Structure 1
């Protein structure tokens, strides 16, 4: 079956977790939808106290407009919100809503898709393939991820195009540019991936200047996966080599090596078991910053109502005490 550029791009942007939306309007080439999800459960915090948790709740609106001559415009606005009262280090209550995504794109099946705003980056389309489970997933990609463009890239202009070579071979091309953003100067990124049936392999590169650093902040990522998360066997791995790219402890960035890997298997009744591993090394100081593994299970009671449970083992690092984490809860998709 031929897949259109718009369909493949939207799927790629939203692949981290399930995507649900209620279509509120559809007439004469224009659509408007409302979506998001909210999670509620229990787990332990950094002090090992049992607390009520809400994992990454959000609401969003989106729409498309047929512009004629094969062009279609789309937009999305998404806001994270805090259903549970939360305070900062000074004891002040944090904002109830904050921006996660906000972009406009124009797509064409022949010419590809251009977009601008805050969105999942081309870099993330390669580096984020293992960022799947609800409770515990990839952490290192989100360290300065908005400014670096490794996750939800801030103030980015992006281009994507899929080249299809027969039924089972696709080449996905992505590129992005970010202008001045705080301490970060002009940044550019490039992402390439191949779909070979159920197999995907990819490479992504990002570079740009940072105030106070002599060298550019540069990241190189290789990834590979097999299958689709939540549908039978799924295996994925990501390897990132960073040059003055991140600092997971705050302060000046260092050379780093990061790994994320996951193996999951979903039964026909949707019961999904997964095992994931993550490490992040400060190569300049030869210390381990993150080293952890999580066992998790998810189950769809209905297509829009999911239960989850996970236990993350701290495998030992050089910067903190060993703290295992656990979480149990439900997620409702709007």
Structure 2
């Protein structure tokens, strides 16, 4: 796969939602871009039980590339979460920071805090703006289930037929003193005429236990353009929220109407498999409307479907807008 196609494939699977960046410099093989977005919404959202103004996941990023010849392009990115609704305090917290190198046939190597290969497979349903795949972000920095801290990754894609390709991802994290030993992960996906089948594994010790996860995923279509269907099923040991054995699942059905409107329905649950108890289950109806390429409005209502611990059900909702920088 050529450099541009490989880079596009990586970006598409690693951003979680729509990606946008403005190129501000391009000369003699070097580029510099600035991107991110600001979003606000009104509703009962996150941990809040009162109606108020919320932010969803605003961010600012700076990226650059350098063509060093022989088919190799080096890139770097820094990304920070913006915390702007509360006066004072910390304005920025780190989301990403890495350096990578991509070869047109040799694949891509990246080092730093980055989206993990595990997420390439497990994140196929993590696409709506307001309510999406919560369980992926449980202790993600250490497990590498979303963004992984201090991670080395390798990715490559291979065309095996006219409408078919195979993608491979490998990840490694070194020892996190007092928290986790070194961890590794592998991700493998096959795309056949628009149907993507994926498998990923993450393993290594956290504390005194071996924390492992096996995830299968299936996806079809392009989110925001016609029918998009995705489902994720994970089987874990000591991986999620201190549970010895757990099952996690997420399913998403979305339909883009072709006029900028995208409607979606998702379902998510995490189960304590050893004790056969539901940790949480929820479903959300959502709508997103692309006003311009830089401005998307959204609305969502999430139904709390309950658990097996007698926790009072707590539905959430939000209406808002996201502006891409």
Cα separation, 2, equivalents of 1:96 and 1:43: 23
Cα separation, 2, equivalents of 1:105 and 1:77: 12
Alignment TM-score, normalising by the size of structure 2: 0.96
Cα separation, 2, equivalents of 1:70 and 1:309: 44
Write the mapping of 1:65-214 to structure 2, written as runs, cut at 5 A: 65-85=66-86, 94-182=89-177, 183-213=179-209
Q: 3-state SS of the aligned residue for 1:9?
A: helix
Write the mapping of 1:202-281 to structure 2, written as runs, cut at 5 A: 202-213=198-209, 216-247=210-241, 252-281=242-271
Shift of 1:94: 4.5
Contact 2:113 2:150 in 1 (8 A): yes
Runs (4+) of structure 1 moved beyond 4 Å? Answer: none
Shift of 1:190: 0.3
User: Which residue does the alignment assign to 2:300?
Assistant: 310
Shift of 1:47: 5.3
Question: Structure 1: which 5+ runs fail to align?
Answer: 87-92
- Once the two structures are superposed, residues 237-263 of structure 1 have per-residue CA deviations (whole angstroms, 9 ceiling, x without a partner) of 00000011111xxxx342100000000
Q: 3-state SS of the aligned residue for 2:181?
A: strand
Q: 3-state SS of the aligned residue for 1:132?
A: coil
Equivalent residues, number: 321
Contact 1:6 1:109 in 2 (8 A): no
Shift of 1:224: 0.4
Shift of 1:6: 2.6
Q: 3-state SS of the aligned residue for 1:123?
A: helix
**In angstroms, what is the RMSD of aligned CA positions?**
1.5
User: Which residue does the alignment assign to 1:89?
Assistant: none
User: Which residue does the alignment assign to 2:320?
Assistant: 329
Cα separation, 1, equivalents of 2:9 and 2:263: 26
Cα separation, 1, equivalents of 2:206 and 2:243: 10
Write the mapping of 1:31-42 to structure 2, written as runs, cut at 5 A: 31-42=31-42
Contact 2:288 2:299 in 1 (8 A): yes
User: Which residue does the alignment assign to 1:7?
Assistant: 8
Q: 3-state SS of the aligned residue for 1:5?
A: helix
Contact 2:97 2:114 in 1 (8 A): yes
Alignment TM-score, normalising by the size of structure 1: 0.93
Shift of 1:195: 1.0
Cα pair distance change 1:47/1:22, threshold 3 Å: closer
Cα pair distance change 1:157/1:40, threshold 3 Å: same
Does 294-303 or 36-45 show the bigger shift? 36-45
Shift of 1:41: 1.3
Q: 3-state SS of the aligned residue for 2:229?
A: strand
Question: Structure 2: which 5+ runs fail to align?
Answer: none
Q: 3-state SS of the aligned residue for 2:12?
A: helix
Cα separation, 1, equivalents of 2:192 and 2:68: 32
Contact 1:199 1:225 in 2 (8 A): yes
